[in-house]
Amino acid sequence: MHKIGILGGVASGKSLVARQLTELGAGLLDADRAGHEVLDDRAVREALRCRWGGDILEPDGRVDRSRVAEIVFAPPPAGEQERQFLENLLHPRIARRLADEQEELAARKYPAVVLDAPLLLEAGWDRLCDRLIFVDAARELRLARAAARGWTEQDVARREAAQLPLHVKRARADVSIDNSGTPQQTRAQVEQFWASLAEHDNPPWSPSA
């Protein structure tokens, strides 16, 4: 089973490429979803409450993710320290979930699995992958896409400051996909990559399987 990781900047279109790969037949490992599930763990909620107080919780007892973002993306050094605490708490738990899900997808005979994770390299989850795709898009375009989500340029800058530089991600990738155009143009590149996986397998598998 091919194990594909997705790299790129904020709002570059990583989730779009991941979704298009799943439409072609790959299984999905969604680190964001796994992170949300981990935040619902009782031990995690209690650790966050002890660290940041009861205001970190919603009235129903669930973690207020927007409040977490305010804390961990605060200006340094406080933001960096709190982000490190959060990552140390969450990342090992997320990694276990991802590894378990990957094993399940392999057992179900998926030809490939794609890992969509904002901090893939930073968290060391590239060890789960044998191929890395870099999703490229101009900064101005990424800022416009982020604005459509309600993020300011400062929000993007704070998140990018917590990640490895784009040139490092680009250098680590095996393949680059340009997501500056239409979804259809991106899909054509994704299909080309998908077909290349099938061609190099022995025996080859059908990319439409």
Please report whether residue 205 resides in a domain. Answer: no
Find the domain containing 132 and state its range: 2-198
Q: Which helix (H) or strand (E) holds 195?
A: helix 183-199
Could you tell me the strand order of the sheet in which 131-136 lies?
27-30, 112-116, 2-8, 131-136, 175-178
Number of domains in the chain: 1
Write the CATH number for 165: 3.40.50.300
| Residue 207 located in a structural domain | no
Q: Is residue 50 in a domain?
A: yes
Beta-carbon contacts of 203 under 8 Å, excluding residues fewer than 6 positions away, are none
To the question of pTM greater than 0.75 for the whole model, the response is yes
* Type of residue numbered 67: R
Q: Is residue 208 part of a domain?
A: no
d(CA 86, CA 209): 40
Average pLDDT value for residue range 86-110: 95
110-139: pLDDT as tens digits? 999 999 998 999 999 999 899 999 999 999
Model confidence pLDDT, tens digit, residues 137-196: 999 999 999 999 999 999 999 899 889 999 999 999 999 999 999 999 999 999 999 999
Closest Cα partner for 146 from 172, 167, 118? Answer: 118
